[in-house]
Amino acid sequence: MNLILLGPPGAGKGTQAKKMVEKLGIPQISTGDILRAAVKEGTAMGIEAKKYMDAGKLVPDEVVIGIIRDRIKEADCAKGFILDGFPRTVAQAEALDEMLKGMGQDIDHVISIEVPDSALLERLTGRRMCSCGASYHIMFNKPKQEGICDLCGGKLYHRDDDKEEAITERLVNYHRQTAPLIDFYTKKGKVRPIPGTGSVDDIFAAIMDAVEG
């Protein structure tokens, strides 16, 4: 099953993706996690991408399209994948369509997680991340031990782009560049709208209904 998680920054894509991986047995592919790993390693791609990420802007399409092109060919994607944070522009969505067509595949469902902007600032300023991709919240989703990842024992950190100025920029760019994808995939009959407020478990149950129903 090939799935896309779509939603604004802070909607809960990463949180839900981790639970879906466990339940569905297909990998999460997060372009944000892949880019942050490249930044940490100091690769040429990472150094270039960091400028955009810290400013709350999207990394150029060709960079992320290249990442996905390589990643979805890997063996662990044979039974499907969960795209988290990709596509984010119509150009990326069109490139993805082409790639999948070339592989004789298609997207099955686009899970559109809906959270009003008014809730996102608090979610993002309070978010704490692990390098394994797990995310926590200082109020809403605390790790068992403060500052430590439940999944891997890693040390949690506050992302450079989870500061108010970059968040505002990311939300503007989401509405301008990414939200049009809801329309793009609605026309293809792929969108499953999921209210993204409420408990993590209730949202997860709604997602599972949408993909298994």
- Enumerate binding residues for ligand ADP (CB under 6 A): 7, 9-15, 31-32, 35, 52-53, 56-59, 64, 85-86, 88, 92, 123, 126-127, 135-137, 140-141, 161, 170, 200, 203
Is position 192 annotated as part of the catalytic site? no
Pick from 103, 151, 172, 205 the residue near Zn ion by CB under 5 A: 151
Hey, how many other C-beta atoms are within 10 angstroms of the C-beta on 49? 22
Contacts of 11 by beta carbon, 8 Å cutoff, 6+ apart: 113, 114, 115, 120, 196
Distance (Å, whole) CA 88 – CA 90: 7
For Zn ion, what does the binding mask look like between residues 82 and 121, x meaning CB under 5 A?
----------------------------------------
Q: Which does 58 bind (CB under 5 to 8 A by kind): Zn ion, ligand ADP, none?
A: ligand ADP
Q: Which is nearer to ligand ADP, 9 or 27 (CB)?
A: 9
Q: Which is nearer to ligand ADP, 25 or 66 (CB)?
A: 66
Residues between 153 and 172 with contacts to Zn ion, criterion CB under 5 A: 154
Classify burial at 31, counting beta carbons within 10 Å of its beta carbon; exposed 0-12, middle 13-18, buried 19 or more: buried
Distance (Å, whole) CA 204 – CA 175: 24
Smallest distance, ligand ADP to C-beta of residue 194, A: 11
Pick from 25, 73, 106, 132 the residue near Zn ion by CB under 5 A: 132
Is position 127 annotated as part of the catalytic site? yes
Give yes or no for a contact between 167 and 121, defined as CB atoms under 8 angstroms apart: yes
Q: Which does 134 bind (CB under 5 to 8 A by kind): Zn ion, ligand ADP, none?
A: Zn ion
Helix or strand run (H / E) with residue 83: strand 81-84
Give the distance between the most distant pair of CA atoms in the chain.
46
Phi and psi at 74, nearest 5°, equal: -70, 155
- Give residues in contact with Zn ion (CB under 5 A): 130, 132, 134, 149, 151-152, 154
